[in-house]
Structure 1
Amino acid sequence: MAKKVLVVDDAAFMRMLLKDIITKAGYEVVGEASNGAEAVEKYKELKPDIVTMDITMPEMNGIEATKEIMKIDPNANIIMCSAMGQQMMVVEAIQAGAKDFIVKPFQQGRVVEALSKISK
């Protein structure tokens, strides 16, 4: 059975790009969210196996959303997505509970590697 993925990014184009990479890699995208607050709600509703989480978003950023999701499910598999030069935020994300991170612009191989690493 394909692992279920929730894609979270405030940019529709980025979500589309990620969905394409994820589905081609054999995973099932069960939902998407455009901000952290929405991500937390969708996580409760869809119970995905993996979440790709953008860091910089309106309403609630990815780090706050990761902390909220970890309260709901301490075993959540969250992969942070960050633009170049956000190393401090990546460290903060890992401390918040993220299992891995991928850097934008997305490289298909790296996204698939992060997904397969945490879906074992």
Structure 2
Amino acid sequence: MAKNILIVDDAAFMRMMIKDILTKNGYNVVGEAENGAKAFEKYNELKPDLVLMDITMPEVDGIAALKMIMGADRGAKVIMCSAMGQQAMVIEAIHSGAKDFIVKPFQPDRVLEAVKKVIG
């Protein structure tokens, strides 16, 4: 059965790139969100197997959204995405419950490796 994934990034083209990589490899993208507040809403509504979430976003950033999601569901599986040079945020994300992180610009193999590691 295909695993359901929620993609969260403020850049539409990034969501499209990730969605393309995932759907070509048998994953089911059940939703998209452009900020952390929408991510939390969609997570509660869709209950995805995995969330791929950017760290830097308007309104509610990825770290705050991660904490909200983990607070609502300790079993949530979240992989954070960040640009180079955000090591402190990546460390905070891992301490807050993120299962892995992917550095932008994405390498399709790295995205798939992280997803497979977290949800198979």
TM over 0.5: yes
Q: Hey, what does 2:50 align to over in structure 1? A: 50
Residue deviations 1:35-87 (CA, integer Å, cap 9, x gap): 00000000000000000010000010000000000011101010000001111
Distance 1:99 1:24 in 2: 23
Give the partner amino acid of 1:55: I
Aligned partners of 2:25, 2:101: CA distance in 1, in Å? 17
Equivalent residue number for residue 37 of structure 2? 37
SS of alignment partner, residue 101 of structure 1: strand
Is 1:119 the counterpart of 2:109 in the alignment?
Answer: no
- CA deviations on 1:7-41 (whole Å, 9 max, x unpaired) are 00000010000000111121000000000000000
* Residue aligning to 1:62: 62
Matches within 5 A, 1:8-23: 8-23=8-23
Q: Which residues of structure 2 form unaligned runs of 5+?
A: none
Amino acid at match of 1:35: N
2:81 aligned counterpart, secondary structure: strand
Q: What are structure 1's unaligned runs of at least 5 residues?
A: none
C-alpha distance in 2 between matches for 1:27 and 1:51 = 12
* Count of residues in Structure 1 that have an aligned counterpart in Structure 2: 120
Moved over 6 A (4+): none
TM-score, with normalisation over the residues of structure 2?
0.99
Q: Which amino acid aligns with 2:47?
A: K
What percent of counterpart residues are identical?
69
Residue in structure 2 matched with residue 75 of structure 1 by the alignment? 75
